[in-house]
Amino acid sequence: MTTNLIHWLLYGGAMGLIVIGIVGVVTLTNIFRIILALVIAEAGANLLLVIAGYRFDAIAPILTGQALSAMPTTQIMVDPVPQAMVLTSIVIGVGVQALALALVLKVYKNYQTLDLREIHHRMLADIDHSSGVISLLSEEQPKGERPLPEPETKNVLNSGGEK
Amino acid sequence: MNNIAFNVALPLLTAFLLPIISSGSKSATRFVGPFVLLAMLWFALAYFNVLQHPVAIALGGFLPPLGISFHLDNLSLLMAALIPLMMLLLWPYNNREGFREESLLLLLAGAASGLALSGDLFNIYVFYELLSVASFGLAAANRTAAAFAATFRYVIISGLGTVLALTGIALIYTQTGTLNLAHIGLLASQLNNPVGLSAFALIVIGIGVKAEIFPVNGWVPEVYSTASPRISALLAGLISKLAVLVIIRLLVVAYQGSQALTLLLVLGMLGIIWGELSAWHSKDLKRMFSFSSIGQLGMVLVAFSIPGDAGMAAGIAMMLHHLVVKPGMFLLTENWNGPIKKLKGAATSSPLAAFLFMLFALSMIGVPPLPGFWAKLLLVTGLVEANAPLYIIALVVLLTATVIEAHYLMSTALKIFSRGKKKHFKKLLQTPFNLTIATIFGAVLLAALFTLTPLGNKLNQIATESSDRSLYIKTTLSLKLPPQVKQQVSKVQ
Amino acid sequence: MRNISALVFASGLAFLLLVITWQFILGGAPMLIGEAILQQAAEELGAANLVTSVVLGYRGIDTLGEIAILFTASTATSLVLSSIAEKTSAKSKPGLRDDGTILASSASLFFPLLMTIGLYIILHGHLTPGGGFQGGVILAAAFFLPLLAVPGRGVNHSGLALVEGFAGASFIVIGIIALFQGKAFLQPLFGHGEMGSLLSAGSLPLLYIAVGLKVGAELSGLLANLAEPSGNGDETLSATESASTEQTSMQAEKTKS
C-alpha cells in the first residue's frame, strides 16, 4: 500500500513539474523566466523517465565486488535504459538552453526589453517593415533592415565610465 | 551491407571537422559539403537499387529490441535519398562567410537521415532534437533583430514540444517497457488505453512542431519571413516531411485504432482552416506561402488519417508534391518579398519566374493535368471511400480550402501578370541562381506529369509496403532475438 | 486573444497529464529490454557499469547524436553571438577590474584539482558511476572557474575548436573502424579484458574519453561565448536608434489597436 502511494506521489510529482513548466511557458511574459519554466518542465519529463525505470529495494546497475565474478547477479537492479536516456536528454536540454540564452542576449541587445509581448510587436513591425506591407517608418528614414547597435558608441561609453 | 550508417556518420564527421578544415583552407570548406552530400546520395541510391524487401540493420551489432535498429524500406530510403538531393539544390554555394552555416547544414542532413531511417523511438527523439537545434541555428543565421526574436519563439515552442514528446516516450516506456518501434508494435495492445493514446497525442503535438501541426505552428510565418528563402524552403519542404514521417511510422506500427486517426484528422482539419484563412488574409508573399504551407501540411495529415493503403498513398503523394512545389515557391520570394500590391509588372521583368509561379500555383490548387491534381484526387477519393461523417466534413473543408487557395493564388498571379511601372523592373528581377534552382523544381514537376503511370505504380507499392504493420514488425524482429526477449514476445502472443 | 488560446492549450494539457497520472497502473513499468540488458550486458560488453554499456554499446548512436547536439548548439550559439565574439577575441579587455587575489588564486588552485577529478571520472566511466558526460562537465567547470574569477580572461577558442573537432571525429572514426573490420557501425572493438579492471570493456573507455573531451571543450566554449558579451558592459543604443525603435513600437501598437 505504501509503495503504491509513494509510486503515485512520484508520478504525480513528475507530472506536476511538467504542468508547472508548461503553464509557466504559456503565461509568463519575461523571456528569461520562460526559459526557466522550460527548464522546470524538462526536469519533470526527465524525472518521469527515471521513475519509469525505478524499482523498490533495487541497487544501481553497476557490478561491484562479488557480483563481478558471479554473473548473472542475484541482486535486483534498477532499469539501466531510462538512466541512459535521461543522461542523453539532460545534455540535449543543456544545449537548447544555452542557445536560448544566447538568443535572449541578442534579442535584449536589439530591442532593449525582456517582455515577450513587446518583443513580439516589435518583431512583427520589423517583418512588416522589411516586406514593406505597412510603411511604419517615414520615407526619410533609410530603407532595409534596422541596423544592429553600433559597437563604437558602446566602447566610448565604457571607457568614459572607467575614467 | 551495413554502410547506410555512413549517411548519418559521414555528415556528422565532416561537420565536426569543418572548423579545423576551414582554418586550414577556405576553399576546401566550400567543396567538402557538397561532396559529402553526393556521397550520401550515392549510398542511399545504391540501397534503393538492390532493395527487394524491407531490411533492418542492427547498429553496433546489438539485436533490435535491445540495441537500436535502422529500418530500410522504400519510404525511408526515398526520404534518405531526397535529403542530400534537396540539400544540394539549396546549398549556399555563394556563401563566403565562414563555415558555420555549412556545418549546421551538414548536421541537419545527418540528423534528417537518422530520422528517416531510425526504428527506435528514443533514437528518433535524439535525431529530432539534433534536427531542431540545427534548424534554430539556420533560422537565426540572417542575424537581424527580427530573426533573433522569431528564432527565440521557435526555440521555446520547440522546447515545449520536446518536453511533450519526451513525456510521451516515457509514458510508452512505462506501458510497454521497450523503445524499439517494432517491439512496441508487437505490444500495441498494451497501448490501447487512455495512457497509451495520450502518449500518442503528446508525441504528435511534440514532433508536430516541425510538421507545422495546428496548435504548435505559431513560429511558422515568423521564422519563414525572417530566415533566408533557402532555409525556409528547406524547413517547409524537407524537414516538415520528416516529422510527418515519424508520426506516420508510429501510427502504422503502434496505433491502428480509430481514436488516433480521429486525432490526426481533427488536427489536420484545424490546420487547413487556420492556414488557408491566414494565407488568404496575408499581404506579402513570404507569409502567404508560410500559411499555405501550414494548410498543405494539414491536408497531408488528413490524408494519413484515412485508414488503409488509400490514405497512405494519398498522404505520400501530397507530401512529395508539397516537397517539390513549396521550395520552388519560397525561392521566388527572395526578390518578390514586397507587398503583393507592388508585384505589378513582375511578369515583364522576369517572365520565367512568373511562369514558374503560375505552374506551382496551378499545381497546388490542383488544376487537372498537373501532378497536384492527381495528389488531391487521391485524397478526395480516399475521403469519399472512407465514408464516415467526420471524413465527409473533412472533404467539405478540403474543397472549401481549395477554393480559398485558388482565390488568393490567382489574385496574386493577376497582380504579377498585370502591367506595372518601369521603375520597379530592376527591383523585381530574380537572381539567376535562385531562378535556376526554382526552374529545376518546376522541371521536376513537369517531368512528373509525363511519368504519371510509373510514378503511380511505385507510389502504390510504397504505400502498401509502408502501411503493412506486420511486415515492419517482422522485418525488425526477424533478426535473431535474445532468448529473454523471445520468451516475453511469445508470452505476449 | 492569443493569450486565451494559449491558456486553453495549457490547461488542456495539464488536465490530460493529471488524468494520465490518475490512470497509471501502479507498481512500476514492465522492464522488457531493461531486464534482458541486465542479464547479458556484462557478458556482451565486459563493462562493470551497466549504464555505460547501454550508453555506449546498446544505444551508442544516441550518444553520437547527443554529442552532435552539443556541437550544434555551440556552433549555433557562436553563429548567433558571432558579431560580438569576433570583436572581443582579444586576450584581455581594458576596463575590466581584477576581482581580487583570493578569487583569482583559488580559481587557479582549483584548476588542477578539477582537471584530475574530471579525468578520473572519465577514465573510470566503465567501472564506477560517472563517465564522459559527467567528467566532461567537470572539465568544463575547471576551465570556466578562472573565467568567472577573472572575467576579462580570454578563452583560446581555436584550441577548443581543435579538441572539439578531433574528439568528435575520433568517436565516429572508432565506429567506422568497426565497420571496416566487417562489424556493425559503432560495434565495440578489442577484447573485453578482465572485468572490473581499468583496461577492460574493449573500446568503450576510448569512446568515453572522446565524449569527455568533446563535452568538456564544447561546454567551455559555450559558456565562454555566453560569458564574453556580458563582460563587455551594458550596451546602449544610440539616441537616434532608440528614437526610431520607439517610433516603430508606437506605430506597431497603433496598428494593433
* C62 neighbors B123 (Cβ within 8 angstroms): yes
pLDDT band at C152 (very low <50, low <70, confident <90, very high): low
pLDDT of residue C96: 53
Assigned domain for A69 exists? yes
Is A148 touching B (CB cutoff 8 A)? Answer: yes
C48-100 pLDDT, tens per residue?
788 888 888 888 889 999 999 999 998 898 888 876 444 444 444 444 555 67
B454 Cα to chain C: minimum distance (Å):
36
pLDDT of residue C27: 52
**Which of residues 272 through 301 in chain B touch A, CB cutoff 8 A?**
283-284, 286-287
Query: For cell 508510429, what's the residue?
Result: B250
Domain limits, chain C: 48-83+109-229
C105 Cα to chain B: minimum distance (Å):
33
Q: What CATH number is given to the structural domain containing A7? A: 1.10.287.3510
* B246 neighbors B258 (Cβ within 8 angstroms): no
Amino acid (one-letter) located at B267: L
- Is residue C168 over pLDDT 60? yes
Q: Which domain holds residue A16?
A: 2-135
- Is residue C153 over pLDDT 70? no
- B and C: number of Cβ contacts within 8 A: 193
SS3 letters across chain A: CHHHHHHHHHHHHHHHHHHHHHHHHHHCCEHHHHHHHHHHHHHHHHHHHHHHCCCCCCECCECCHHHHCCCCCCCCECCHHHHHHHHHHHHHHHHHHHHHHHHHHHHHHHHCCCEHHHHHHHHHHHHHHHHCCCCCCCCCCCCCCCCCCCHHHHHHHHHHHHC
Low-confidence ranges of chain B (pLDDT < 50): 1, 492-493
Assigned domain for A49 exists? yes
Cα–Cα distance measured from residue A64 to residue B209, given in angstroms and rounded to the nearest whole number: 44
pLDDT band at C28 (very low <50, low <70, confident <90, very high): low
pLDDT of residue A67: 59
Distance of CA C27 to the CA centre of its chain: 34
Cα–Cα distance measured from residue B368 to residue B363, given in angstroms and rounded to the nearest whole number: 8
pLDDT band at A39 (very low <50, low <70, confident <90, very high): very high
pLDDT of residue B240: 92
Query: ipTM more than 0.95?
Result: no
pLDDT of residue B133: 93
Residues of chain A found within 8 Å of residue B222, distances taken between Cβ atoms: 123-124, 127
Which helix (H) or strand (E) is B56 found in, with range?
Answer: strand B55-58
Is B432 touching C (CB cutoff 8 A)? Answer: no
Residues of chain B found within 8 Å of residue C164, distances taken between Cβ atoms: 16, 19
pLDDT of residue A137: 43
Is B153 touching A (CB cutoff 8 A)? Answer: yes
> Could A130 and B144 be called an inter-chain contact, meaning their C-beta atoms sit closer than 8 Å?
yes
Assigned domain for A19 exists? yes
* C77 neighbors B84 (Cβ within 8 angstroms): no
Which residue out of B126, B152, B336 would a mutagenesis test of the A interface target, given it has the greatest number of A Cβ atoms within 10 Å? B152
pLDDT of residue C131: 83
> Could C20 and B194 be called an inter-chain contact, meaning their C-beta atoms sit closer than 8 Å?
yes
Q: Which of C30, C64, C158 sits opposite B12 (nearest CB)?
A: C64
> Could B12 and C168 be called an inter-chain contact, meaning their C-beta atoms sit closer than 8 Å?
yes
Which residue out of B121, B127, B166 would a mutagenesis test of the A interface target, given it has the greatest number of A Cβ atoms within 10 Å? B166
Q: How many domains does chain A divide into?
A: 1
Q: Which of B155, B163, B338 sits opposite A18 (nearest CB)?
A: B163
- Is residue C242 over pLDDT 50? no
Average pLDDT over residues C134-143: 89
Q: Considering chain C, what is the average pLDDT of its residues?
A: 75
**Which of residues 175 through 204 in chain B touch C, CB cutoff 8 A?**
175-180, 183, 187, 193-195, 198, 201-202
Which residue out of C164, C235, C245, C257 would a mutagenesis test of the A interface target, given it has the greatest number of A Cβ atoms within 10 Å? C235
Is B120 touching A (CB cutoff 8 A)? Answer: no
Q: Which of C36, C66, C184 sits opposite B482 (nearest CB)?
A: C36
Cell of C122: 572519465
B132 Cα to chain A: minimum distance (Å):
9
- A and C: number of Cβ contacts within 8 A: 217
* B246 neighbors B192 (Cβ within 8 angstroms): no
pLDDT band at C249 (very low <50, low <70, confident <90, very high): very low
Assigned domain for A144 exists? no
pLDDT band at A154 (very low <50, low <70, confident <90, very high): very low
> Could B122 and A45 be called an inter-chain contact, meaning their C-beta atoms sit closer than 8 Å?
no
Cα–Cα distance measured from residue A114 to residue A111, given in angstroms and rounded to the nearest whole number: 8
